Amino acid sequence: MDSQLFTVNSPLTLSPAGKDLLLKSGGKKYVDDNLDMLIEHMNELGIKSALDSQRLARYIIIEHMPDENFKPIKDYIFNNPKYKYEYNGEPRELDVDTDNMAAVMGVYLRDKYLITRPDLNVEDIP
On average, the pLDDT of the chain sits at 89
Instruction: Give the rounded percent of residues in the chain with a pLDDT score beyond 70.
Output: 89
DSSP state of 99: H
pLDDT at 115 (0 to 100)? 93
Whole-structure pTM value: 0.88
Pairwise CA distance, residues 124 & 107, whole Å:
15
Q: How many Cα atoms within 13 Å fall on the side-chain side of residue 98? A: 13
User: Residues 91, 84: contact at Cβ < 8 Å?
Assistant: yes
DSSP string of 39-80, one letter each residue: HHHHHHTT--SHHHHHHHHHHHHHHHTTSGGGHHHHHHHHH-
